[in-house]
Chains A and B, each alone.
Chain A
Amino acid sequence: MSKAYIVSTGIICAIGEDARECLHSLQNGKHGIGRAQFLQSNWVNERPVGEVKLSSQQLADNLNTTRDWPRTALLSGIAVKEAWSPFARTKTDFAVGFLSANTVGGMDKTEDFFGDFLKDNKAGELRDFVNHECGAVTNLVAEFGGFKGFTTTVSTACSSSANSIMMAAQMIRDGLLDVAVAGGADSLCRFTLNGFNTLGILDNELCKPFDANRKGLNLGEGAAYLVLMSEKAVEAYGAEPIAIVSGWGNANDAHHQTASSPEGAGNKLAIQAAIDCAGLLPEDISYINLHGTGTENNDSSEGLAIEAIFGENVPPASSTKAFTGHTLGASGAVEAVFSTIALRDGIIYPNLRFKMQMPELTFRPNTRMEEAADVQHVLSNSFGFGGACTSLIFSKC
């Protein structure tokens, strides 16, 4: 039995190429959403996105790898490199586990391949579809990182990387792993942009999470990872723990394939389970990093679930998706990194673009950048298609 210590983080998303850049953007209210420069789609003028400001070629160059990698793998590799670099040279006997997550796999490559393929089924390059699967993306990065331990990919829509972090923490608890790089990645692609577009839940302007006049979400992309270690491994690596993964709750809404139940039944179960797992009470939570996509349905269900648990004492809460866009399978990990920084630096992030209180809620999101706050425990929510609901709690060591 060991706690899962967070000893390092890595991140790339629309507001920065590493944790330092992301924090700088968050502190300065600088979001990363706008017209796509690299995503090729007929919708780029009408649907703003949170794109990483580097082409796939630039990402490949930065990683010293090949452009044959899907963009999701490139983003994943960049964030993994940042997270793992403090320990990459230390020799130990631990097999490093890699628990990743994504929803699109190599879809950007498949899209390019598929056009040619539809015209002639002998056309197209093998290298453009062999990495289509979610697991293939993980394997590319596992090999790149030299990770030889347990390797897996979770694919539970928008809660994917919250679940990979949960699994890594469970494995460390049970002594099945001592070191895990856990998180996830997803790149923008035509498939998801068009998919979300058909559902009518993309805002054609900048998204407004938890605002009464919210019109939908902006898609984003990115990757983020935590390096988790057992007590034994912390000692062996001489690592300095930043925080711990103290609680998790995974539940299903069992309501609809894409929509949340109006009262957020699954959300409520996941949040409560995470609080119980951490051995805390609702009043112990210092900050909630909301799932807060900016869709009518999500924010209402999530807000009501939070009120059901926290009553009139909802702690400061904000959605950082107004900065990053919704990075889908990566979002749980992106927000896990933000939560870790919040604990480390005593920060509570602002919820950008909030103007009007949602009528069904009594609480409003935090809109100011709070520094020097007393942040002891952070709750981070991730909800998705298929009724997927996962909440994580990060705590000071």
Chain B
Amino acid sequence: MLKLDLYIKAFSALEQQSANLESSEVDTKRSYGTPSPLLALEPDYTNTIPPMQLRRMSKAVRMGIGAAKNCLEMAEISKPDAIIVGTAFGCLQDTENFLKKMVEQDEKMLTPTAFIQSTHNTIAGQIALGTQCMGYNNTISQHGHSFENALVAAALLLNEKPESNVLCGGVDELTQTAFHLMQRAGLFGEINSEKKSVAAGEGAGFLLLQKSNEAALACVRTIHSFTEKDIEKALAAVWESLKEQGFNEKANALWLGISAEDTMNLLPAEADEIQPHFFKGKTGQWGTVMATAICKAIQESPDNSRVFMVNNFCEDWSVVVLEML
């Protein structure tokens, strides 16, 4: 468990809606149990990104800039001191585009745009470019811990430079190919349990972090991340982690990004007083969903409450304690 004490001055995350991945049309007939993905509702970028650039930008980069920019506006800051992005899969669409052309055209007549935008740090780099932030810039790609580890990087920087405003987010896009392959790998659909289906998702969520509690809305107190393949062991470790972080005495709410079936095995009878909130019903599932979930938890939780959050993505688990101020 790492004690981070990251104070959140502002936050912003894109909303999700069930939609057809191919046409982006809203899927009104979505029923639980079918793996129809939840796609990010993108903001109007007209005032954020010049049209020439917007045309060439992949969804991951657009979403990242959109949420980051909104977060900065909420914090009334035009230029942060540092930018940290967690992204599990990076810029998938551009990677696919370049890969596809490379294979189909047999390595001939290729153009650089997709390649140069396929780098994982394109999102953080483009936010730096857009805000002219020449400070610390980092990108973490650690599967289901990408955003959680970005928070750790933020804490390390704030220990060094306590006056900094750190813009820290989690961004991942869903592409048709990735969706198809993740389905083949059994990532979605398999963990459906009764009415708590977990759909594939995508999104961008950003927090403006600072060292002091001045004008802060909430605080990420502690974080515990671990990787465990065995589900029983993992759930036991999550429960231990919750207890260690004061769940029994301090929790006012429990936000879970795990399936209902796992929840029944996670919580012992004495924890019955707290009704868990399954956030992935609204957001869907992706590697950096915790960034969006934290934004939603701040939005929906009363002042002076403590929200314990648990997330699971494949073998990666994390427990975050969020304190509302």
CB within 8 Å of B: which residues of A?
41-43, 103, 105, 110-111, 114-115, 117-118, 121-122, 126, 129-130, 133-136, 138-139, 150-157, 163, 167, 170-171, 173-174, 176, 190-191, 194-195, 197-199, 250-258, 265-266, 269, 277, 384-388
Contacts and interface: CB of A to CB of B under 8 A. Distances in A.
B104 A156 contact: no
A385 B125 contact: yes
B134 A42 contact: no
Given A126-B184, A170-B160, A251-B135, A387 B128 contact: yes
B159 A174 contact: yes
Interface string B104-138: 10111011100111111110111011011111111
Contacts of A257: 116-117, 122, 125-126, 129
A133 B89 contact: yes
A156 B117 CA distance: 12
Contacts of A170: 156-157, 159-160
B185 A153 contact: no
B88 interface: yes
Nearest to A159: B121
28 contacts: A43-B107, A105-B141, A114-B100, A115-B103, A118-B100, A122-B184, A134-B142, A136-B143, A138-B142, A152-B142, A152-B152, A157-B120, A157-B121, A167-B153, A167-B156, A176-B156, A190-B102, A195-B116, A199-B116, A254-B128, A254-B129, A254-B133, A254-B134, A257-B122, A269-B134, A277-B160, A385-B116, A387-B128
B287 to A, nearest CB: 8
Given A111-B102, A199-B116, 11 more contacts: A121-B180, A135-B143, A150-B149, A154-B140, A195-B98, A199-B112, A252-B125, A257-B117, A277-B160, A385-B121, A386-B137
B210 to A, nearest CB: 17
Contacts of B145: 135, 151-152
A250 B124 CA distance: 13
B156 A139 contact: no
A271 to B, nearest CB: 13
B145 to A, nearest CB: 7
A252 B135 contact: yes
B104 A118 contact: yes
A386 B110 contact: no
Nearest to A142: B227
A386 B121 contact: yes
Contacts of B89: 133
Contacts of B140: 152-155
B156 A153 contact: no
Contacts of A194: 98, 102, 107, 110, 115
B90 interface: yes
Contacts of A277: 160
A278 B166 CA distance: 23
Contacts of B133: 252, 254
B307 interface: no
Contacts of B2: 150, 176
Given A152-B149, A155-B121, A386-B119, A114 B129 contact: no
Interface string B181-203: 10011000000000000000000
Contacts of B120: 103, 134, 155-157
A381 to B, nearest CB: 15
B97 to A, nearest CB: 12
Interface in B76-103: 83, 88-90, 95, 98-100, 102-103
Contacts of A255: 129
B285 interface: no
A82 to B, nearest CB: 23
Given A252-B133, A386-B125, A114 B99 contact: yes
A163 B119 contact: no
B227 A253 contact: no
B165 interface: no
Contacts of B160: 170, 277
A154 B138 contact: yes
Contact of B125 (A122, A171, A191, A387): A387
B17 interface: no
B241 interface: no
Nearest to A258: B116
**Most B CB within 10 A of own CB, among A115, A130, A199, A388:** A388
B90 A134 contact: yes
A266 B100 CA distance: 34
B230 to A, nearest CB: 13
B146 interface: yes
A252 B116 contact: no
B90 to A, nearest CB: 7
B12 interface: no
Contact of B146 (A135, A198, A384): A135
Contacts of A121: 180
Contact of B141 (A115, A155, A198): A155
A115 B107 CA distance: 12
B292 interface: no
Nearest to A170: B156
Contacts of B185: 126, 129-130
